[in-house]
């Protein structure tokens, strides 16, 4: 799998800052960082300039059950 390919995040994937469920994957030259929605927003200025890609799955937080 290349750097730009993704299988999405799993329930077991955890935020590197706090350990909550990860919803954002930040792909850097050196590897990926995973963040919960809160830390992704809080740290966006820090990683946005050097990230290769940001994969945001926070839309999964807002799905409604029937």
Give residue-wise pLDDT tens across range 44-64: 999 999 999 999 999 888 755
Distance CA 62, CA 1 (A): 29
35: pLDDT strictly greater than 50:
yes
Conformation bin of residue 45: beta by default, left when phi > 0, alpha when psi is -120 to 50: alpha
58: nearest Cα among 17, 8, 16: 8
- Whole-model pTM above 0.95? no
pLDDT bucket at 7, cuts 50 / 70 / 90:
low
Average of per-residue pLDDT across 21-47: 97
Q: In what order do the strands lie in the sheet with 31-35?
A: 31-35, 24-28, 53-56
Choose among 60, 20, 66: nearest CA to 42: 20
Arithmetic mean of pLDDT, 24-29: 97
């Amino acid at each position: 799998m290349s750097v730009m390919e993704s299988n999405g995040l799993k329930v077991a994937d955890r935020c590197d800052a706090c350990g909550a469920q990860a919803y954002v994957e930040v792909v850097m030259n050196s590897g990926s960082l995973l963040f919960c929605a809160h830390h992704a927003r809080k740290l966006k200025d820090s990683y946005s300039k050097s990230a290769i890609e940001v994969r945001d799955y926070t839309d999964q937080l807002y799905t409604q059950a029937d």
